[in-house]
Amino acid sequence: MPCAPVGERVATTMRRRHQISRAMPAWRAGALAVVATTVAVAIPVAASANGHSDHPYARSAAAAGLAYGGKTGQGWPVLIELNRTRRKVAQAVIGLSLPCASGGTFLGHDRYINLPVNRRRKFASSFGPETVRNDDGTTTEFEGSMSGGFNRARSKVSGRWHLKVTYHDGLDGLIDTCQGTVSWSAKQ
């Protein structure tokens, strides 16, 4: 499977609501898992620590009940963070593995930002296809969608995340397609 250089860019559609990463080598996926585990442990510890401040509103997002953490059906981490008014998903980040037509696997992460939460406690967004021109003359197309919703008590959030990555050679020929849909859930 072709492997694009590691990096992150901001999509221009959806009013900058989506960020994607290019494919990463397998060793980087291990590093991502270590970072995700550290974050999963650090957020609750930091939230429960005595963070002294003279200001009555000085609290972290985790302590304020604005951060939700969990796992996908594949065992990858997912983070949902709300803004202070809880009317927007400030960011939603997920790690995922996508099976490819060639038999390979796309390992990466995906991110959406500033998604409005409606009165029924639901949110959704989609993007693409967006084309990235790689340094070697090939192109990579990204497209995807995500949706989710909070339970009535807003203590849990769950949903589905879809991502499709298509690699083309410099002559507009198809090299490979990697895609998948992942269920996820997170709680405070």
Q: What is the pTM of this model?
A: 0.68
Helix (H) or strand (E) run with residue 43 in it: helix 26-48
From the list 72, 73, 111, 74, the residue with the least C-alpha distance to 91 is 111
Cβ atoms of residues 83 and 90 within 8 Å: yes
Digit-coded pLDDT (tens) for 113-139: 999 999 999 999 999 999 999 999 899
Cβ atoms of residues 22 and 7 within 8 Å: yes
* Residue pointed to by tokens 């020929």: 173
- Tokens standing for residue 107: 């390992």
Which residue ranges of the chain lie beneath pLDDT 50? 1-17, 20-29, 31-32, 34-35, 38-39, 41-62
Digit-coded pLDDT (tens) for 36-50: 554 454 444 444 333
